[in-house]
Structure 1
Amino acid sequence: MSVAVPRAARRWRALDRPGAVALGLGLLGLGYRLALILLTVPGSNSDEATFGLAALHIADGRELPVFLYGQHYMGTVQSYLAAPLFLLFGAGWIPLRIPLLFLYAAFGYLAYRLTRRLYSPWLATFTVGILALGGERVIRDQITAVGGRPEVKPAVLGLLLIALALGRRRDRGRLRTLGLFGLFGLVTGLCVWDDWLVLPYLVVAFGVLLVGCWRDLLGPAGAVLVAGFLLGVAPLLVDNLTAPAGQDSISVLRQVSEGEAEATPGTARLHGALLVGIPLATGLCRPEGCDAVEMSWGGLYLALLLAAGALAVVGLVRAGASTPARVGYAAQLALVLGAALTVAAYARSSLAGSAPLASARYLSILQISLPAVLWPLWLVARRAGQLAAGPLTRLAGIVGTALLALLVVLLLGTTGHLLGEIGTIRAEEGQQRQLARTLERAGVSAVYAEYWTCNRLVFVTRERVACAVLGEDLRPGQDRYPAYPRRVRAADRPAFVFEAGAPADAAFQAHLRRSGVPARVTRVGRHIVYLPESTLRPPG
């Protein structure tokens, strides 16, 4: 008598040891991030609040923004993902971040699949374990609504897996094959709309597709791919074709780049990119900076990239005319080239030299290439336990194992540091909520404040309090959504909120003395709230 075994049970039984360990590590990583999301760690800020406000407007049916307010080159995919949760549970930091948890899960799963297919099962497991850890910089890029980075990473891995499947296909249905080409184009188009930082990886992923399927692209498959791409990139195209002169994405991005331009020496940019940016973006450093050991990872990273690239090129040469083998090695090379191009583009920017700690987030997509970077080290480390190997080979294996262990230790250190900061972060978040309650209890519906307070305050109060941004000199600052400063300027007695002791606070106190307008002053955590008894406007 035979008993039918459910498909899910068969899959579970078919899970081998590397897969089972990877599943456990992945669940630990998910649980860690879920706990942080529920605690609002890392702390929120006004940039994230802007994504939340866009999601709120989408959920209410008021607007369907293509780009983030005040940032006409950053797509709003994260806002659209959060909008349904806002409808169900109301606006808040947790429903804004929950979709990113699913994106992290997808990234970990696809990283395992791709690493296992290109390299080895246990390296795939190790990669999932590395991705499960995370200090402040890594976690902020993964589970806060910062734009682009959480969603494009699983998208690129998915594109590479699609390219591998198409390049290695055998007797598959024509409809399914065309569907995969269309999906490749659609995902690529969505990524172009969402975040241009991923362009190097999109180019190399398309290169892998060309290696395995260039003949197919000359026929209907190519047309389907183009149609999918146009569908995915349609929001960007429509918005740019209808935008006023100078307001298209390329013009705005050029203006931003020129505005951030600063003469920084090439040595400073290389130092910032290699010795600060790479270690910080890959999770080895604390937000305050990197020490000498952590900085050394930048140089080792480049050496490992070169070694991984050489291994991929040798594999391509040896593969000869075998298309399935060539596609696999092409995908390995794509991971190397994607990382190299990303680092090179970042090293050319002035921010790499002038503000590497703040701008290292632009390298967060290097996590896509983690398996390729680890592969040479993994190959060497495997020799440590081979008794038949010579003493030099075993010594190299021991060194490789030690470096992998050091990598884990450093990642555990930054993870522990973030856990140790939870109390401080929670207290600061509590102060922000208290600030909002204080203003609402006082009947305040309009305030002037600095940038990092404004949209955060508007989001926490669900737009019951509008805010206009002021700079350190009390001149108008960067207002991302024009309706808010209009409300403030039209208000009868707007309040003023500044961080105690900040330049803007000192400037406002001087302005208050000159005006002679009495004001009630309230201290809320780090902030001081000024409630003038008659209408007072900034001097600018």
Structure 2
Amino acid sequence: MLTAAAGWKAWLLARGSFPFNADEAIVALMGRHILAGARPTFFYGQAYMGSLDAYLVAAGFALFGPAVWVVRLVQTLLFLGILLSTYAIGARILRSERLGLLAVGLLVFPVVNLTLYTTVSLGGYGEALLIGNLLIWMGLILVERLKEEPAKLEARDAALGAVWGLTAGLGVWANGLSLVYAAPVGLAILAYSVRARIGWTRRGLLWGALISGGVLGAAPFWGYGMTNGWQSLVGELLGSAVAVEGGSWLLRSFNHLVRLVLLGGTATLGFRPPWEVRWLLLPLMPAIFIFWVCVLGYGFKQVKGNHPQSWVWRVLAGVGLTLAAGFVFTSFGIDPSGRYFAPYSILLALAGGGLLDWLYQRRRWWALAALAVVLAYQWGGTLDCALRKPPALTTQFDLQTVIEDGYQEELITFLEEQGETRGYSTYWVAYPLAFLSEERLIFVPRLPYHHDMRYTTRDDRYAPYRERVEANEKIAYITASNPNLDVWLREGFAGLGVEWSEAEIGPYRVYYAFSRAVRPAEVGLGETRGAVETE
């Protein structure tokens, strides 16, 4: 199953089904900069997603050289770790090796949403899923030890608690999404440690190990806060960067709930790609819907039951409910792009593995047939999206920002031949261009990419690039499939009385050979205008 999962991703990558966009380019650039001696704490331009992914990419670059495929290799290896840890939860925590195998089986060809966010790097979502699985696995092993009668707490249990805390702390820094795992599992450890007959000395030893591990694991987070202040750090962790909604908190929460159920639910079950509302393999959808309704019913029964493993299902349900609460009641609910819903795929796979295990014991071939139909649907839905280019499998849920792939090398060649190595562009052009040209071409994102000319200075994420461009007197502008921006630029340049040339390369339009350097502010661009777009 691991070989099949890796082979499926390799085939999709080999045929270019995942466009290389700016978010992923920033991770790749950070990896290159780390090899050169930089030590970034967070994803460039923000303070709520740590640079763990970039350090892993840097390790890949050290072994294989800086290339886009290495970034995807790192994500693929993380996904295989997610599969292995899912099996471990089923076999060790839920006490059924077959349940673990069937859960992994449901994830071999995952839904489009999970395929996307475990292949393309956005800075830590693959890590968050793997860390989350490890927190469940280690945490519930520790709870099992505490549940023993009479409970014994040995040195190895305190060590396990320290490792659990270290992993939880690392997750807080790497990606705040890991908190949806750490909170319910940590609460379970706390509750059972209070109930256990281990004495306050041993209880204090366990708590000290958990806290010490957590503080150490989140050391980059604490260090950044003490150096740069806590307000922006904690604010961004809670969603201040995307807090652009109006209306009352109650109304916002209701809107988030609607997004969770309608947009999140359909993407999680694979009924639509996360970037658009388009139904996938519509004739099979009713059967798949019935299957997942049965899975939810099975899960609810396990949570409400009174069998030896019901407490495990309650903790797993707590993870799902924590994720829902975080989405509904914080500003992150404005973003239904799909990445926040990825943990649900793992939880559903475990519940689905449980249902199929139950059915396998009664009607073996029915269970295998159900697994085959679900896998065929998920495989077919992903293939359907992969064959549609553009956009193929994209993380950009605003399709206006999707740039037709395959023209980057031609663009790089043209700019170098013209000696145009510095200038201005949009977020989705600038950073892929920088990485693919090995940073010979530096264009800072000071132009809007939306057709309504909305822009935020948060797009300009790396100050050293900005300094290089500002110090250069020969500049060019690059746009991509945005006629409104082209009109704005031409009118602005003409109004300044400058001369320039234009070239069209696929979806790109290059403005170059200016009679003098023109900065974006001179044509009314480069400052935040309109609604700030979500990350």
Flag whether TM exceeds 0.5 (same fold): yes
The equivalent residue for 2:221 is: 236
- Identify the range of structure 1 (514-523 vs 373-382) with the bigger mean alpha-carbon deviation: 373-382
CA distance in structure 2 between the aligned counterparts of 1:46 and 1:262, rounded to whole angstroms: 32
Which deviations, in whole Å up to 9, do the C-alpha atoms of 1:283-318 show, x marking residues without a partner?
Answer: 342343243875997898688546524423423xx5
Name stretches of at least 5 consecutive residues in structure 1 with no aligned partner.
Answer: 1-24, 319-324, 387-396
2:178 to 195, 198, 203: 198
1:536 to 518, 526, 532: 518
SS of structure 2 residue aligned to 1:75: coil
The equivalent residue for 1:289 is: 277
Q: Is 1:448 matched with 2:433?
A: no
The equivalent residue for 1:471 is: 448
Say if 1:166 and 1:212, in contact at 8 Å, map to a contact too.
Answer: no
Say if 2:24 and 2:120, in contact at 8 Å, map to a contact too.
Answer: yes
Count of paired positions: 491
> How far off its partner does 1:229 sit?
1.0
- Identify the range of structure 1 (374-383 vs 157-166) with the bigger mean alpha-carbon deviation: 374-383
CA distance in structure 2 between the aligned counterparts of 1:383 and 1:518, rounded to whole angstroms: 77
Say if 1:142 and 1:149, in contact at 8 Å, map to a contact too.
Answer: yes
Which deviations, in whole Å up to 9, do the C-alpha atoms of 1:177-232 show, x marking residues without a partner?
Answer: 33212111110100111111221211112234345544466232322222111110
SS of structure 2 residue aligned to 1:521: strand
CA distance in structure 1 between the aligned counterparts of 2:239 and 2:139, rounded to whole angstroms: 33
Residues 266/230 of structure 1: CA separation in 2 closer, same or farther (3 Å cut): closer
The equivalent residue for 1:75 is: 50
The equivalent residue for 1:410 is: 377
Matches within 5 A, 1:516-531: 516-531=497-512
CA distance in structure 2 between the aligned counterparts of 1:350 and 1:482, rounded to whole angstroms: 27
Q: Is 1:337 matched with 2:318?
A: yes
1:363 to 341, 362, 371: 341
Matches within 5 A, 1:53-72: 53-61=29-37, 63-72=38-47
Matches within 5 A, 1:199-218: 199-210=179-190, 212-214=192-194, 215=196, 218=203
CA distance in structure 2 between the aligned counterparts of 1:79 and 1:183, rounded to whole angstroms: 22
Q: Which amino acid aligns with 1:479?
A: D
Residues 190/267 of structure 1: CA separation in 2 closer, same or farther (3 Å cut): closer
Say if 2:99 and 2:350, in contact at 8 Å, map to a contact too.
Answer: no
Q: Which amino acid aligns with 2:55?
A: Y
Which deviations, in whole Å up to 9, do the C-alpha atoms of 1:346-371 show, x marking residues without a partner?
Answer: 2345675x663xx2221112223124
Taking structure 2 as the reference length, the TM-score comes to: 0.81
The equivalent residue for 1:280 is: 267
Higher helix share: 1
Q: Which amino acid aligns with 2:175?
A: D
Residues 408/34 of structure 1: CA separation in 2 closer, same or farther (3 Å cut): closer
CA distance in structure 1 between the aligned counterparts of 2:375 and 2:141, rounded to whole angstroms: 32
Taking structure 1 as the reference length, the TM-score comes to: 0.81
Q: Which amino acid aligns with 1:529?
A: V
> How far off its partner does 1:500 sit?
3.4
SS of structure 1 residue aligned to 2:377: helix
Residues 74/27 of structure 1: CA separation in 2 closer, same or farther (3 Å cut): same
The equivalent residue for 1:271 is: 258
CA distance in structure 1 between the aligned counterparts of 2:178 and 2:425, rounded to whole angstroms: 34
Residues 501/182 of structure 1: CA separation in 2 closer, same or farther (3 Å cut): closer
The equivalent residue for 2:351 is: 373
> How far off its partner does 1:338 sit?
0.8
> How far off its partner does 1:35 sit?
3.6
Q: Which amino acid aligns with 1:226?
A: I
The equivalent residue for 1:15 is: none
Matches within 5 A, 1:138-217: 138-169=114-145, 174-210=154-190, 212-214=192-194, 215=196
- Identify the range of structure 1 (290-299 vs 48-57) with the bigger mean alpha-carbon deviation: 290-299
Which deviations, in whole Å up to 9, do the C-alpha atoms of 1:482-507 show, x marking residues without a partner?
Answer: 22122222211211100134322221
> How far off its partner does 1:85 sit?
2.3
> How far off its partner does 1:513 sit?
2.6
Residues 432/342 of structure 1: CA separation in 2 closer, same or farther (3 Å cut): same
SS of structure 1 residue aligned to 2:338: helix
Q: Is 1:125 matched with 2:106?
A: no
Residues 434/262 of structure 1: CA separation in 2 closer, same or farther (3 Å cut): farther
Which deviations, in whole Å up to 9, do the C-alpha atoms of 1:323-347 show, x marking residues without a partner?
Answer: xx4xx43222111121122123323
Residues 285/179 of structure 1: CA separation in 2 closer, same or farther (3 Å cut): same
Q: Which amino acid aligns with 2:173?
A: W
Say if 1:182 and 1:224, in contact at 8 Å, map to a contact too.
Answer: yes
Residue identity (%): 24
Residues 261/127 of structure 1: CA separation in 2 closer, same or farther (3 Å cut): farther
The equivalent residue for 1:311 is: 302
CA distance in structure 2 between the aligned counterparts of 1:233 and 1:533, rounded to whole angstroms: 49
